[in-house]
């Protein structure tokens, strides 16, 4: 009986050490592939942090060019905000339509940021970065900013999308009480041909209210487009062999809605969901 008791103590201690190491690992940077990108297979920091959703903050990627020039360097800033929390971390990537790394992300603040994993596909925070965010959270209005430089590819990769996850933490050294925010920002190759867009339309399917956006184009099959609903939620749509690209949003509110093409802001379609 005594042997069983000793064994139980050893197992519990082992679990405590494992959990402690895991929490510390996340504080010193997110593992590669948890920002909701294509390369992440949709996985986010919500896989580990709870409650994850329901916060009142945001994550932003500042400095993304509307159109990028081949080989040009751009200074970006990932901003995590949540006045109700105490600090924040992030993960950022730049990917093409297939989830391949697009261009190069370069560290400009090696004390506060680092690469996730063994490749340069993802950039994340360091433990010093999180500590600094906590020390200056209130002074910065409940937010933290992390700088990253992005150099556009030397050859065309089509529309490139920047994905970021922001983790607003309560600093309890656990994965509980944290809120995760996600965003994605497209950047188009310079000189995108908006003349290849024939029309953009929107249609509401009543019931649970689903809005469908449809772009008719003369673009090549496989071209990725981005559509927004009411200037907010962005969806990616792939042009099929007939030149059509479709996106849909589920569980929308009743009333009027507008779908616009990010690549060509003037191309929009409107619909009304009758309550």
Query: What pLDDT score does 26 carry?
Result: 67
**Single residue among 173, 189, 205 that ends a domain in this structure:** 189
Q: Are residues 51 and 38 in the same domain?
A: yes
Domain of residue 120 covers: 22-189
Q: Are residues 74 and 199 in the same domain?
A: no
Low-confidence ranges of the chain (pLDDT < 70): 1-26, 207-208
Q: Are residues 166 and 212 in the same domain?
A: no
Distance CA 59, CA 101 (A): 21
**Are 118 and 29 a contacting pair, CB within 8 Å?**
no
Report if residue 7 sits inside a domain.
no
Give the count of beta carbons closer than 10 Å to the beta carbon of residue 11. 10
Q: pLDDT tens digits for 35-70?
A: 999 999 888 877 788 787 888 999 999 999 988 999
Query: What pLDDT score does 114 carry?
Result: 97
Q: Are residues 172 and 200 in the same domain?
A: no
pTM over 0.75: no
Q: Are residues 259 and 183 in the same domain?
A: no
Q: Are residues 138 and 32 in the same domain?
A: yes
Nearest to 84 by CA among 63, 58, 66: 58
Distance CA 209, CA 152 (A): 39
Query: What pLDDT score does 199 carry?
Result: 96
Q: Are residues 116 and 223 in the same domain?
A: no
Lateral strand order in the sheet of 197-205: 197-205, 210-217, 244-249
Query: What pLDDT score does 119 carry?
Result: 87
Rounded to 5 degrees, φ, ψ at 140 are -95, 20
Pairing state of beta strands 234-238 and 244-249? Answer: unpaired
Check the CA dihedral 101-236-154-149 and report its sign: negative
Q: Are residues 226 and 154 in the same domain?
A: no
Query: What pLDDT score does 113 carry?
Result: 98
Q: How many CA atoms lie within 13 A of 125 on its CB side?
A: 31
Q: What is the separation of C-alpha 232 from the centre of its chain, rounded to a whole number of angstroms?
A: 14
Give the count of beta carbons closer than 10 Å to the beta carbon of residue 41. 10
Cis peptide, bond prior to residue 74, ω within 30 of zero: no
Query: What pLDDT score does 31 carry?
Result: 87
Give the chain's domain count: 2
Q: pLDDT tens digits for 92-117?
A: 999 998 899 999 999 999 999 999 98
């Amino acid at each position: 009986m005594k042997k069983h008791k000793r064994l139980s103590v050893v197992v519990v201690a082992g679990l405590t050490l494992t959990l402690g190491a895991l929490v510390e690992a996340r504080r010193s940077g997110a593992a590669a592939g948890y920002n909701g990108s294509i390369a992440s297979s949709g996985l986010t920091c919500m896989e580990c942090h709870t409650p994850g959703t329901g916060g009142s903050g945001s994550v932003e990627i500042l400095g993304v060019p509307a159109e990028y020039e081949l080989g040009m360097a751009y200074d970006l800033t990932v901003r995590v905000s949540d006045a109700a929390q105490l600090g924040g971390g992030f993960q950022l990537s730049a990917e093409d339509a297939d989830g391949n790394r697009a261009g190069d992300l370069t560290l400009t603040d090696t004390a506060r940021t680092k690469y996730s994993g063994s490749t340069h596909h993802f950039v994340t925070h360091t433990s010093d970065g999180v500590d600094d965010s906590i020390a200056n959270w209130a002074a910065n209005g409940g937010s933290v900013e992390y700088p990253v430089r992005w150099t556009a590819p030397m050859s065309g990769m089509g529309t490139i999308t920047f994905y970021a996850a922001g983790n607003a933490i309560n600093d309890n050294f656990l994965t509980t009480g944290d809120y995760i925010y996600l965003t994605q920002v497209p950047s188009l190759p310079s000189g995108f041909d908006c003349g290849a867009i024939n029309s953009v339309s929107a249609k509401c399917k009543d019931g649970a209210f689903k809005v469908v956006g449809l772009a008719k184009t003369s673009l090549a099959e496989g071209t990725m487009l981005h559509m927004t609903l009411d200037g907010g939620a962005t969806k990616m749509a792939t042009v099929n062999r007939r030149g059509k690209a479709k996106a849909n949003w589920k569980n929308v509110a009743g009333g009027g809605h507008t779908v616009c093409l990010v690549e060509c802001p003037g191309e929009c379609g409107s619909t009304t969901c009758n309550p």
